[in-house]
Structure 1
Amino acid sequence: MSNWVEACAADDVEEEDVIRFDHEGRTFAIFRSPEDEFFATDGLCTHERVHLADGLVMGDVIECPKHNGRFSYKTGRGKGAPICADLKTYPVRVEGGRVLVDLG
């Protein structure tokens, strides 16, 4: 079942960057790729629950600011230690300049 929620304006996210989005007690991360596509993942690192929006985006990778764990924000797949689990990803679409995330 779909549950599309407006996360932000497309212009709120710079190319190759991430912002934090909180909804109903949960934290998400919204990414804009160098190819101008948008992606969404859980917003906390699976290693120590640190906000990924404070991390560094390089290409299609987000690096956690605490212990430098890295994930592909396109797939959620962890890129090695100290990552202990992959990130959950969410479908994204852009309508009328707004980023919508399907939180299912």
Structure 2
Amino acid sequence: MAHLFVCQDDALSDGEAIKVDGPSEAIAVFRVGGELFALNDRCSHGNASMSDGYVEDDGTVECPLHAARFCLKTGAALCQPATEPLKTYPIVLLDGAVYVDVPEAP
């Protein structure tokens, strides 16, 4: 695994999201209730950026196009029209910076 830099830890406020380009796909990083979560940025139902979605206090994010909701912790699709989960990624905090663990490029 490789560490992909996201931002400084204090740059992402509670209830916000940021998108970063990963080696194979964009990744959305969210802060909710002081916790950090990382998911594939592309909705599994349609071509929408999850970092532009509506972050909820209950640890979910709603797709900005079709109102599908996903669990930030597991990536599970919680309602229609989405049925497929989003890939999740581990978060790493190092020296005041936020990183996402991504597979190394071949």
Normalising by structure 1, what TM-score?
A: 0.90
- How far apart are the structure 2 equivalents of 1:14 and 1:86? 25
Give me the CA root mean square deviation: 1.2
Cα distance per residue 1:24-49 (max 9 Å; x no partner): 35211001121x12111100100002
2:88 maps to: 89
> Secondary structure at the residue paired with 2:51?
helix
- How far apart are the structure 2 equivalents of 1:24 and 1:102? 11
Shift of 1:101: 0.7
5-14 or 68-77, which deviates more: 5-14
Structure 2: which 5+ residue stretches go unaligned? Answer: none
Identity of aligned residues (%): 33
- Moved >3 Å (runs of 4+): none
Structure 1: which 5+ residue stretches go unaligned? Answer: none
* Maintained 8 Å contact 1:38/1:93: no
Residue 21 in structure 1 maps to residue 20 in structure 2: yes
- How far apart are the structure 2 equivalents of 1:71 and 1:26? 18
1:55 maps to: 53
Once the two structures are superposed, the pairs formed by residues 36-51 of structure 1 within 5 Å of their partners are 36-51=34-49
48-57 or 6-15, which deviates more: 6-15
Q: How many positions carry a matched residue from both structures? A: 102
Shift of 1:12: 2.3
